[in-house]
Amino acid sequence: MQTHSCERIADEASIRDDGAGDIDIATKCEEYAARANLYRLFGGVFIEEPAGEFLANLRSNAVLAALAQMGAGFDEDFLNPAQADLEHALACEYTVMFATSGGLPPVESVRLQGGYHQAAHTAVKQFYREHGFTVKPGRFRVFEDNLGAELLFVAALLDRARAAAEAGDAAEDLRMVKSIRRFWVQHLGRWIRGYCSLVERASEHSFFREMARLTRHFAEMELEAMRLNVEDDDGGRLEHPVPEFKEQEGNGPVCGQLPSRG
């Protein structure tokens, strides 16, 4: 899955409840687009190592100013290095934080059920399948219940809701809004806030610290705007729960485990 540029994020933290009151179609579509852009922005942080156009856009004056308005406070380790040096530093931090033994994988089934390919992974894949959404690999394989993939999925649903609203298809618009709410209740809402709070505490580089903090704040805003009360099952805990089982196609479930934290 490819990351997306982070253009047009200024003034996009203003979120309305999609189902509340009378709202004109143009305003609704603008809000759908604004929210989708923010989902793509935060999804790009976790889906793979930040690099290229995504990272260059993030450091543009306009985007930095918008992020500062949202509360970001990046240090010199993000603001000053040349692009190539920054990409190398973030690749190292991404690997240590998210992809090595003893790390903190941004994966729902790991955070909530203790291992890869647990029940959450199966449920997320089914949710994607019902909506015709597939996760395509970028530079590396991406699990369907990766936090970045889940955020990009909601962005895609918002794109569909906007297209439906523009076409005057109120039923499809409402169907997408309901799907987004259901996905938050069943998946994102259960782990994104606690996990991002852990990344904030564990990060050495200010990029991941600040983007995790903004992602957590954005999640809180979305839940409030949608009037959803979802328990944070992740809780920002350092240790993973004991795994239940791991999928194994053709042979049924087998015991799942994570590498020792050492």
33-79: per-residue pLDDT in tens?
A: 999 999 999 999 999 999 999 999 999 999 999 999 999 999 999 99
pLDDT computed for residue 246 by the predictor: 54
pLDDT computed for residue 243 by the predictor: 78
Kindly report, residue by residue over 73-110, the tens digit of the pLDDT.
999 999 999 999 999 999 999 999 999 888 999 999 99
Residue 133 in tokens:
């959404």
Measured in degrees and rounded to the nearest 5, phi and psi for residue 246 equal -125, 140
Kindly report, residue by residue over 200-256, the tens digit of the pLDDT.
999 999 999 999 999 999 999 999 999 999 999 999 998 878 776 555 444 443 333
Write the burial class of residue 254 (CB in 10 Å: 0-12 exposed, 13-18 middle, 19+ buried). Answer: exposed
Percent pLDDT > 90 in the chain is: 77
Indicate the residue type of 234.
Answer: D
pLDDT computed for residue 19 by the predictor: 43
- Domain assignments of the chain as residue spans, ordered by start: 25-225
**Architecture of domain 25-225 in CATH?**
Orthogonal Bundle (1.10)
Per-residue burial over 196-206, b if 16 or more Cβ lie within 10 Å, else e, is: bbbbbebbebb
pLDDT computed for residue 31 by the predictor: 96
pLDDT computed for residue 12 by the predictor: 43
pTM of structure: 0.85
pLDDT computed for residue 253 by the predictor: 39
Helix (H) or strand (E) holding 180: helix 170-183
pLDDT computed for residue 244 by the predictor: 65
The torsion of the CA quartet 200, 204, 206, 211, rounded to 10 degrees, works out to: -30
Picking from 76, 81, 92, the residue whose alpha carbon sits closest to that of residue 206 is: 76
**Mean pLDDT score across all residues of the chain:** 87
Residue 102 in tokens:
């003893």
Secondary structure letter of residue 95 according to DSSP? I
Kindly report, residue by residue over 99-144, the tens digit of the pLDDT.
988 899 999 999 999 999 999 999 999 999 999 999 987 777 899 9
Write the burial class of residue 152 (CB in 10 Å: 0-12 exposed, 13-18 middle, 19+ buried). Answer: buried
Place of tokens 């992809």: 99
